[in-house]
Amino acid sequence: MLKIDNSEVRDNLLSGNIGLEKESLRIDGKGFFVQTPHPFQTDDPNIVRDFCENQTEINTSVCSSVKEAMEQLKFHTLRIQKTLSDLVEPEYLWPFSNPPYIKKESDIPIAKYEGEEIEKQDYRNYLSDRYGRYKMTFSGIHFNYSFDDKVVGEDKDAFYVSLAAKAQAYNWLIVASTAASPLLDSSYVEKGVYGRDVFNGMGSTRCSELGYWNMFTPILDYTDIEHYVDSIVQYVDMGLIHSSAELYYPVRLKPAGKYDLHSLKENGVSHIELRMIDLNPLTTWGIDERDVYFIKYLLSYLAAMPEISADAREQVFAIQNTKNAAHYDLKTVNIIMPDHRTLWVADAAVEVLNDMKEFYRNLNYYKDSKETEKEDKTGKEDDNDKKYTDEDSYENIMEVLDYQIAKFEDAENRYAWKIREQFFGGFVEKGLELCKERKIKDYDKRIA
């Protein structure tokens, strides 16, 4: 738990660094997976491949603000669209988390690697054999965040292990807020039968019980970083997972550089990664900027929260809460709160969001926008006030949280509901129309 009464902690609470990762599938003009090689330089650090050869992944640099991270996400999205539109046979970025038409499993091309990187292809072959390729086509966004060292304090690893336990307990709120994949094409559930819409009662298929999970429920040890790492290693040693990368958990602690358990234990935690965000086709960039702010504010709220129990029972509840929050109608499924009250997901979300509003109201270094314009006796703006007049103004925080609350007070404000209304009755066909509308014709002007 943070010493939130410490002025240095309070003044730097929202001064963290952000990195975004966005996965998208490349498709042809008929709504099928393209079979072409990755059309970008293999040494490009910002545009890489995930499981499929045609699954591009944008990795932004480490950014000091939400706006900077979003600008990078937009820039690299435009780079991809420009390259795809200039091909002899134009290709498109599929804007949904759920895949388009699938003829058969072999039409999902595993990413190809050679030489020293051949182990990456071997690992993908292993995943294909264990889980099948269909589930590997789900795409989404990962949110990476690190707090200012002034906030974290001397025991950085302890801070992040505690935060990971709390983020795991509350990750259901992010799932419920960003769910945007209520529709599937029939070819996902019945081989070779495509062109029929499937609604399975989920708002986020990939985060639901129908999504991409391990074949067991992992129980991690949040005592300290050594126990945390060892609890993952035990599953590798038991043969339940190939490596830490196969632990399909919504929350990860990451070291700097390559994700490696030895590095995590020896070098410590660099940042936390949240992996449960759906692609939002209602925005060109795959995620609404207000949701990026919200996740940042949620992590800061959780960091300041008192320690919570993270025993095996609580972790099982947390995983089931995640799956329940992925449902379409959040007033038909319950979650179990950390205090063991049972609430409808929608009601629980409003309760937590209102508590977040109260938390930020009580941080009295946040000023009303008019107050932050005051000048001191020398005629200069107070530095502390000025720091929070842009991205993290009190006004912006309240607007972002009210935006989230509105999703749960009226289900028609949720992305999943809007997408079902807009794209049902021709999911892939309508998705293709959206792709073609977003084809970049004047790249230079848009990216300027």
The percentage of the chain sitting over the pLDDT mark of 90, rounded to a whole number, equals: 85
pLDDT tens digits for range 163-204: 999 999 999 999 999 999 999 999 999 998 999 999 999 999
Q: What is the pLDDT of residue 32?
A: 96
Residue 2 covered by a domain: no
Give, for 184, the enclosing helix (H) or strand (E).
Answer: strand 183-185
Strands 183-185 and 197-199: antiparallel
How far, in Å, are 239, 298, 338, 360 from residue 166 at the CA level? 28, 10, 10, 18
pLDDT per residue as tens digits for the range 26-83? 999 999 999 999 999 988 999 999 999 999 999 999 999 999 999 999 999 999 999 9
Residue 405 lies in a domain: yes
pLDDT digits (tens, 9 = 90+) for 273-301: 999 999 999 999 999 999 999 999 999 99
Structurally, how many domains does the chain consist of?
A: 1
Chain centroid to CA 47? 17
For the cut 80, the answer to whether the pLDDT of residue 448 exceeds it is no
Residue 142 lies in a domain: yes
Q: What is the pLDDT of residue 383?
A: 41
Tell me the pLDDT tens digit for each residue of 44-60: 999 999 999 999 999 99
Rounded to an integer, the average pLDDT of 297-317 is 96
Q: What is the DSSP string of 80-100?
A: HHHHHHTSSS--EEE-SSS--
Q: What element of type H or E holds 8?
A: helix 7-11
Q: Which residues of 7-29 are buried (b: 16+ CB within 10 A; e: fewer)?
A: eebbbbbbbbbbbbbbbbbbbbe
Task: Give the domain extent around 173.
Answer: 7-443
Residue 262 above 50 pLDDT?
yes
Residue 301 within a domain: yes
Give the tens place of pLDDT for each residue, 199-257.
Answer: 999 999 999 999 989 999 999 999 999 999 999 999 999 999 999 999 999 999 999 98
What's the pLDDT score for residue 28? 96
The whole-model pTM stands at: 0.93
Structural domain includes residue 342? yes
Q: Is the pLDDT of residue 413 over 90?
A: yes
**pLDDT at res. 384:** 40
**Lowest-confidence range among 165-169, 232-236, 360-364, 415-419?**
360-364
pLDDT at 259 over 50: yes
Q: What is the pLDDT of residue 341?
A: 96
Residue 309 tokens, joined:
């129990």
Above 70 in pLDDT, residue 416? Answer: yes
Count of Cβ atoms closer than 10 Å to residue 68 Cβ: 16
CATH of the domain at 77: 3.30.590.20
d(CA 320, CA 346): 15
Residues 6+ apart with CB under 8 A from 439: 81, 85, 90, 92
Domain membership of residue 82 (yes or no) is: yes
3-state SS, residue 63: strand
Q: Judge whether 106 lies within some domain.
A: yes
Conformational region of residue 294, where left means phi above 0, alpha means psi within -120 to 50, and beta covers everything else: alpha
Q: Is residue 355 part of a domain?
A: yes
Mean pLDDT taken over the chain:
91
Lowest mean pLDDT among 105-119, 276-290, 309-323, 336-350: 105-119
Binning pLDDT at 50, 70 and 90, where does residue 2 land? confident
Tokens of 225: 């970083």
